[in-house]
């Protein structure tokens, strides 16, 4: 107990490690022009439902990517990252998906943790209630998915990062949403590989991948647990070696078929997202990933 309290005090003093990070203040570097997408934070009329997360892993101080999480849908609205697919062995396929302790209480540790560790941390904090129930209240857990016929679809895929912790950090339930299996293993995977190949011609590539919330849910014991997206979307912003935008495209896929509309302009993707999201005023990239006039 004394050890946990000491670690907790250190975490509270060092706010740079905080994963639940208002306005993504601890991981702005994951976004083109240090500017997160706009409009998605308005997809709930309740306070504190949509939560920015700077995704940290174990004792690595710097966030690996960023996610905007919808606590009632129990899925991210999007994940944003810098694509870095240097050659290396693939790691992570045998990983157990981790949880975000700070979705339970901001005083809990900042790094993603396995469920038994998260439950232990919750109990050590002395919160009223059953630890497992407190965790399940605002996030998905591994037991939600078996038997659902949906994959845990990575928004930020492990293969877009070097082998090791960069890939392992993508195995968090705050980075996945229920995805139609044929799409996840088929056309969407091919689309990810195509973007990965394009990244080789960029000095840097920023990617944002997200979902359009749907009307159906993964249910467990009669309770709605995880919202099943109606669409999956993605966009990339490619910069040259002088950090000037040279290419930007988007992709959109219905989450009930094995097909992807790719090669879209960012403006076209945003128009479709605005319509699908009920008139939301969405901006994925600052200035649509175009060089800002001086």
Q: What is the pTM of this model?
A: 0.92
Query: pLDDT means per 10 residues in the chain (294 residues)?
Result: 39 49 94 97 89 94 95 98 80 85 95 96 96 98 96 96 92 98 97 96 97 98 97 98 97 98 98 93 96 50
What's residue 27's pLDDT? 97
Reduced to 3 states, what is the DSSP secondary structure of residue 157?
Answer: coil
What's residue 61's pLDDT? 83
104 and 135 Cβ atoms separated by less than 8 Å: yes
What's residue 8's pLDDT? 40
Task: Give the residue among 109, 95, 12, 3 at the shortest CA–CA distance from 56.
Answer: 109
Q: What is the DSSP letter of 11?
A: H
Task: Give the residue among 195, 170, 162, 200 at the shortest CA–CA distance from 86.
Answer: 162
Q: What is the DSSP letter of 45?
A: S
Phi, psi at residue 176, to the nearest 5°? -130, 155
36 and 80 Cβ atoms separated by less than 8 Å: yes
Tokens, residue 34: 């240090």
Element (H, E) at 181: helix 181-185
Query: What residue ranges define each of the domains in the chain, with the CATH number in brackets?
Result: 2-285 (3.40.570.10)
Where do the DSSP E strands lie in the chain? Answer: 50-57, 60-70, 75-82, 150-154, 176-180, 204-212, 216-220, 223-228, 231-239, 245-254, 261-264
């Amino acid at each position: 107990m004394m050890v946990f309290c000491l670690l907790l005090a250190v975490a509270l003093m060092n706010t740079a490690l905080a994963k639940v990070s208002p306005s993504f203040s601890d991981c702005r570097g994951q976004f083109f022009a240090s500017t997160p997408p706009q409009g998605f934070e308005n997809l709930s009329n309740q306070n504190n439902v949509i939560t920015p997360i700077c995704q940290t892993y174990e004792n690595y101080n710097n966030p690996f990517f960023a996610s905007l999480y919808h606590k009632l849908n129990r899925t991210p609205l999007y994940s944003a990252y810098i694509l870095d697919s240097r050659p290396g062995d693939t790691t992570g396929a045998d990983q157990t998906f981790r949880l975000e302790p700070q979705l339970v209480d901001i005083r809990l540790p900042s790094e993603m943790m396995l469920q038994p560790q998260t439950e232990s941390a919750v109990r050590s904090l002395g919160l009223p209630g059953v630890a497992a129930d407190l965790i399940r209240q605002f996030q998905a857990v591994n037991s939600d998915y078996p038997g659902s016929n949906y994959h845990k679809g990575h928004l930020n895929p492990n293969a877009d990062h070097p082998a090791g912790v960069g890939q392992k950090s993508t195995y968090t339930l705050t980075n996945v949403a229920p995805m139609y299996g044929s799409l996840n293993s088929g056309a969407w995977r091919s689309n990810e590989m195509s973007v990965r190949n394009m990244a080789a011609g960029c000095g840097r590539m920023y990617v944002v991948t997200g979902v359009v919330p749907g009307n159906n849910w993964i249910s467990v014991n009669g309770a709605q647990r995880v919202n099943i997206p109606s669409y999956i979307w993605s966009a990339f912003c490619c910069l040259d070696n002088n950090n000037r935008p040279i290419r930007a495209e988007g992709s959109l896929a219905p989450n009930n078929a094995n097909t992807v509309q790719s090669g879209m302009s960012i403006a076209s993707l945003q128009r479709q997202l605005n319509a699908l999201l009920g008139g939301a005023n969405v901006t994925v990239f600052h200035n649509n990933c175009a060089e800002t006039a001086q």
